[in-house]
Each structure stands twice: as C-alpha cells, then as structure tokens.
Amino acid sequence: MDQFQHLIIEKNDGIALLVLNRPKQLNALNKELLSELNSAFELLREDLETKVIILTGSGEKAFVAGADIKEFASFNGEQGTELAKTGHMTVFNLIEEFPKPVIAAVNGFALGGGLELAMSAHVRIASDNARMGLPETSLGLIPGYGGTQRLPQLIGKGRALEMIFSAKMIDAPTALSYGLVNQVVPQADLLEAAQTMAKSFMKNSIVAMGYAIESVNAGLLEGSVGYDVEVQAFGDCFETEDFKEGTTAFIEKRKPDFPGA
C-alpha cells in the first residue's frame, strides 16, 4: 500500500491506521486525497487481516481543516453538484457503510469537509486540543459532504443549525457534551485510546458489526432524500455572489463582505 501520496497506511495486529497527510495545508481534502481515501478503503475492505480502521490527521494541529478552498473556489454550480454527489458515493457514504468499524481519531481542527469526514466514521475520539465546526456559511456555502444530515443525527437539529449558522468552532469538551465525539483524551494519548477502543471491538464479531452498521444505517435511511436536497442546494451555492466573495476573502486573507440576495 505504498502507492499513496497524501495518505500513510500502517497495519498492525488487525488495525489499519490511515493518516491523512497534507500537513502544510492542514490536511485539507483535495481531489487526490479523496481519491486515495476511496482506494484505501476499497483495499482494506478486501484485506482479511484488517478488522478495524483508525482515521487520523498528520501533525498535531489538524485532523482536516476542510475541503481545499483553493481547489473549489473556481467551481460553478454544475461542478459543485457533480463533485458533491461523487464525494458522497466514493468517500463519505463508503465510510459510513463500511462493513468494519471505522474510528476517527480527531487530533486537532476538524472543519467543514473534515468534520463531515469524522462524522462519516462510526465512532469519534477527540484530543483535548481538537476544535470542530462547519464554517461553510462563512464562505457562502452549505456543508456539501453530508454535514446537513449527519450533524443533526448526532447532536440534534437545534444545536446543528446553530453550528451551521454561526460557522463557529466548538472545543472538545463541548463536542463531548453534545455527543459529537464519544471520548476526549489528552493529545499524547489519542492514538493509544483509539487502539484500545479498536482492540475492545476486535474481541467481538466483526461480521456481526458489519450487520449492525448496516442495520443502524437502514434505520436512518428514511430521511435519505435530505442528502439529495443537500447536493442540489450545495451546487446552487456555487452560482451566488456570496460564494465568490466568501472564497476570495479566504484566499486574500480578509473578512468577507457578503452582498446577500
């Protein structure tokens, strides 16, 4: 598994550690990284030795600081819709429906697409320095990788909409109190805590866990039309002046001045 440029995979005792590795961009998700994530999960699905997957970010600062803003700033509505659809299928739904447990070890900023990635995992453990948020509305966008659906599932509609409207980050203890993460540990202990959790899962039937994942997801499927609405609305955002202003302001390192409707 040494064919990856932005992903490090270490396999040990039935656990595959996947490290997202674009440290200079705070592990922001670009097309290559998303494509590599897809390939890695497809490989690990077939890999009989791997029982549990741990997903984390390289460095001590970020899990993933979002989708790569410099990459998507020039997209139009059609591209936005299309890429959101592809992203759902090839990465975020793939992880949510993965038949082996996936633990996100959130080691720092998990923002936008980064938090959406962590929410696709089955369980989340955060380090005490982690900060989480969906800042898309500050860029003239909405969450486009399932965040409008998975965040309210995890923390309830009121808190989810407050996080989306305010675009603010919450700290690890708040995320724990919301139920967004299952556990918070000192940063130095994060991987060990994730491994301890993985080992506690591995004492039980991974096959049964696959069926449990399928069953839990099936119970949430009734609302799945929400994902389609998100994809379309997300694409529409790319046609707005607010989106142009939001992403340009980020790249120019200034505060946005949204023209509005």
Binding site for ligand DAK (CB under 6 A): 25-26, 28, 65-70, 72, 75, 80, 83-84, 87, 109, 111-113, 135-136, 139, 141, 144-145
131 alpha-carbon distance from chain centroid? 13
Q: How far is the CB of 149 from ligand DAK (least distance, A)?
A: 13
- Return the closest-CA partner of residue 53 out of 138, 3, 133, 120: 120
Q: How far is the CB of 235 from ligand DAK (least distance, A)?
A: 8
Q: Is the dihedral of CA 25, 31, 36, 42 positive or negative?
A: positive
136 counts as catalytic: yes
Q: How far is the CB of 90 from ligand DAK (least distance, A)?
A: 11
Exposed, middle or buried, 108 (CB in 10 Å: 0-12/13-18/19+)?
Answer: buried
116 counts as catalytic: yes
Contact between 125 and 103 (Cβ < 8 Å): yes
Phi-psi region of 112 (alpha: psi -120 to 50; beta: other; left: phi over 0): left
Contact between 144 and 231 (Cβ < 8 Å): yes
Q: How far is the CB of 34 from ligand DAK (least distance, A)?
A: 9
Q: Which is nearer to ligand DAK, 47 or 71 (CB)?
A: 71
Token pair of 45, please?
């699905």
C-alpha to C-alpha distance for 211 and 198, rounded to whole angstroms: 17
The H or E element containing residue 184 is strand 183-185
Q: Which is nearer to ligand DAK, 57 or 144 (CB)?
A: 144
Q: Which is nearer to ligand DAK, 50 or 120 (CB)?
A: 120
Catalytic residue, chosen from 36, 96, 136, 230, is: 136
C-alpha to C-alpha distance for 130 and 142, rounded to whole angstroms: 22
Q: How far is the CB of 39 from ligand DAK (least distance, A)?
A: 18
Q: Which is nearer to ligand DAK, 47 or 82 (CB)?
A: 82
C-alpha to C-alpha distance for 18 and 6, rounded to whole angstroms: 10
Catalytic residue, chosen from 116, 162, 192, 241, is: 116
Q: Which residues pair with 183 in a beta bridge?
A: 125
Q: Which is nearer to ligand DAK, 145 or 227 (CB)?
A: 145
Residue of closest CB approach to ligand DAK: 112
Token pair of 159, please?
């808190």
Q: Which is nearer to ligand DAK, 19 or 44 (CB)?
A: 19
Q: How far is the CB of 82 from ligand DAK (least distance, A)?
A: 8
Q: Which residues contact 158 (CB under 8 A, 6 or more apart)?
A: none
Catalytic residues: 116, 136
